[in-house]
Amino acid sequence: MTQSFHLVVLGGDGIGPEVCDQSVRLLKTIQPHLDGVEFNLDPHSVGVGEYQRSGEALPQSTFDACLASDAVLLGAMGLPNVRYPNGKEIAPQLDLRERLQLYGGVRPIRLFHEDDTPLKGHGAGDVDFVLVRESTEGLFYGRDAVADLEADEATNLLRITRTASERVCRLAFETARRRDGKKKVSLIDKANVLSSMVYFRHVFDEVAKDFPDIEAEHIYVDAAALFLVRRPQDFDVLVTENMFGDILSDLAAGLVGGMGMAPSGDIGDKAAVFQPSHGSAPDIAGQSIANPIAMHLSTAMMLEWLDHPETRRAANALNTAIADVLSDPTQRTADMGGKLSTVAITDQIADRLNYHL
């Protein structure tokens, strides 16, 4: 019997549709090689473009399709200079995260070639860890707080709850267990200063007891920023608060070639959205020079997450095809010093995919 996977495809804004179209092309390359699996690709229009067309950046029917889907593949949404009439940023990616309760941002960071890292003396395989970012609360909880202009001050709340902390810590330990890594989870916090983080640490330690096969450690976020640069090979899985995760994931992307190399999966209990960690990059949109690797790696994460033997085989083939292409440092897009277009580097990956499937 054929298993059909309903995959909602949201190109979005800026370079979003450019990179997303290329991942869809790879899914269509993969499809005929799979036994008993069918991709039902369901594209929807979202983002600033859709807001300008219909008045809604994330139409209800699209939200419902995401909720009913097996997974969502997203390019990028938002454009910095288009805002709602009240001046608020149009950020449907945050709305989607909140409304679908996507509590865990899973961001694998992997170095494919020594030429791609600014770190001296590190080669492929030395940087290979996963950052798990709590995505529903923390310092983003208070993002809508209104500044009191009379009082000449402004405050944002940092919120840590048991429910959110427990599920994201569990996701981190499960990720460590599934990986072929060091079987270690590092909690990145600031428990020496913030009482909310003392509580986060307390919940982390409780969850750690359920995973005796996985080593658990605590690192202050400032020290973690240093260690990520000085000895990235020590990390396996990191779990952290929303804002710390936001900042550290850009730092981590910088270790392996930049935003174009950083995939992500936003995981919830009812839905999962796979997208590159970067935004819509309007400065390079429409020029066919965007790096699609983060998008393709996110697609591989999605295939693995669908958790069917055939989609897992496809995920391995896609990851291997990407590694094959990147093992030659001349095969790069402009952001990484190369000359290949978005389509040309995908052509190379598609060639290798046919070989590995």
DSSP conformational letter for 115: G
* Cβ closest to ligand ATP, residue 29 vs residue 280: 280
CA distance 180 to 335: 30
Q: Is the Cβ–Cβ distance between 160 and 191 less than 8 Å?
A: no
3-state helix, strand, coil in the chain (%, to 5): 45, 20, 35
Query: DSSP string of 152-213?
Result: TB-----B--HHHHHHHHHHHHHHHHHSSS--EEEEEE-TTT-HHHHHHHHHHHHHHTT-TT
Q: Is the Cβ–Cβ distance between 140 and 130 less than 8 Å?
A: no
Q: What are 129's two structure tokens?
A: 């860890």
Figure out which of the listed residues 335, 340, 345, 346 binds ligand ATP, where binding follows CB under 6 A. Answer: 335
Residue span 247-286 as binding mask against ligand ATP, x where in contact by CB under 6 A, dash where not? ------------xx-----------------xxxx-xx--
The distance in angstroms from the start CA to the end CA of the chain is 21
Span of 63-71, 234-242, 289-297, 343-351 interacting with ligand ATP by CB under 6 A: 289-297
Figure out which of the listed residues 136, 291, 299, 319 binds ligand ATP, where binding follows CB under 6 A. Answer: 291
> Count residues contacting ligand ATP (CB under 6 A)?
14
Please list, residue by residue across 311-340, b when 16 or more beta carbons sit within 10 angstroms of its beta carbon and e when fewer do.
bebbbebbbbbbebbbeeeebbbbbbebeb
* Cβ closest to ligand ATP, residue 50 vs residue 335: 335
CB of 136 to ligand ATP, least distance (A): 17
Q: What are 249's two structure tokens?
A: 């994931």
Among 276, 324, 331, residue whose Cα is nearest residue 301: 276
Check residue 322 for interaction with ligand ATP (CB under 6 A): no
Check residue 107 for interaction with ligand ATP (CB under 6 A): no
* Cβ closest to ligand ATP, residue 117 vs residue 196: 117
CB of 212 to ligand ATP, least distance (A): 37
Residue, CB closest to ligand ATP: 279
Check residue 290 for interaction with ligand ATP (CB under 6 A): yes
Check residue 92 for interaction with ligand ATP (CB under 6 A): no
Check residue 343 for interaction with ligand ATP (CB under 6 A): no
* Cβ closest to ligand ATP, residue 240 vs residue 280: 280
Span of 107-115, 155-163, 172-180, 290-298 interacting with ligand ATP by CB under 6 A: 290-298
CA distance 280 to 269: 27
Check residue 213 for interaction with ligand ATP (CB under 6 A): no
Binding site for ligand ATP (CB under 6 A): 15, 78, 259-260, 278-281, 283-284, 290-291, 294, 335
